[in-house]
Amino acid sequence: GWCPLSPTGAQTTQLLVEPAWRPAVLWDQVTLTCQGLGTTGATTWYKDGQRWGQQGRDHLSVTETGTYRCDRPGTRLSPAVIISDDDLVLQVPARALLEGDTVTLRCRG
């Protein structure tokens, strides 16, 4: 399922990642979804700090490594999602984790 990479805030845009593991890696065929209180279909995407990609779409299939953020009218810029192309990664679920939680880790390469 979709998991936010940051806690939900009333005025914060969320950037959701699928598959729901972090760090996100390019070879996982990552899809980003921008959610917020702003107008649907009015998303602005940023890659490495610059406006990027198809503006207005709420979903983005990632084809390049980089740092991604999104924005929707009336909300703040989302937290960043870094997409890497590392050959070997240790991944954790993309959800808020608290001390004492049982967590499944994935070592993938």
The pTM (predicted TM-score) of the whole model is 0.80
Is 79 among the domain residues?
yes
Boundaries of domain holding 74: 13-96+103-108
Burial of 99 (0-12, 13-18, 19+ CB in 10 A): exposed
Pairing of strands 66-71, 59-61: unpaired
Is 53 among the domain residues?
yes
**Higher local confidence (pLDDT), 42 or 19:** 19
Angle value at C-alpha 87, between 108 and 106, nearest 5 degrees: 15
Is 3 among the domain residues?
no
Is 4 among the domain residues?
no
Is 6 among the domain residues?
no
The residues near 86 (Cβ < 8 Å, ≥ 6 apart) are 23, 25
What's the domain count of the chain? Answer: 1
State pLDDT tens for residues 48-94.
999 987 778 889 999 999 999 998 887 888 999 999 999 999 999 88
Rounded Cα–Cα distance for residues 78 and 81 (Å): 9
